[in-house]
Structure 1
Amino acid sequence: MISIVIPNWNGLAHLPACLASLGAQTYSDFEIIVADNASTDGSRECLAREHPEARVIALDRNHGFTGACNAGLRAARGEIAVLLNNDTEADPCWL
């Protein structure tokens, strides 16, 4: 399994397209982890409502890019882990 770790802080404008692109992957053995840096833009609520396939690591404050990446990597279950920015739209054959 591949763990895809997405650090997020107030990325609501980007997350839907990013996650939709992951849903279109031709490879299916992966998990999505969004490490959320205490967003205030509704990111967490959107993820819970519209993307239940994504596991959210809800950080208590903004730990920065590296802190979010590390929190997501600690939660990863895959043999391989990749980091993906929340404004990325992955090609269907990316994995």
Structure 2
Amino acid sequence: MAQQKLYTEKEVRKAIELAQKCEHECGGVYFDYTETEIIENLTPIELPSDEEIEKKANKYVENKWEYAQDECKETFTDCAKWLKEQILNQ
């Protein structure tokens, strides 16, 4: 299965605009974008990997709290992974 990519509304509007240009002749110039070319012009939102979340949690907790580091790191990591999962399951 291909990796799921996320796009902002601005990027989706850009794709629609490019697709519409494909359908209209404009001043004698015909825009002939393929679906692949349109997608390649978009910038997807990059979600962090689970490993990146772990690294960020470690760094964040070490800099903020000297006590209860394990509990704080686990909470931070669980929350970040939960949020990522909610985004991917839309």
Question: With structure 1 as the length reference, what TM-score do the two structures score?
Answer: 0.24
Q: Which has the higher helix share?
A: 2
Greater relative contact order (Cα 8 A, min sep 6): structure 1 or 2? 1
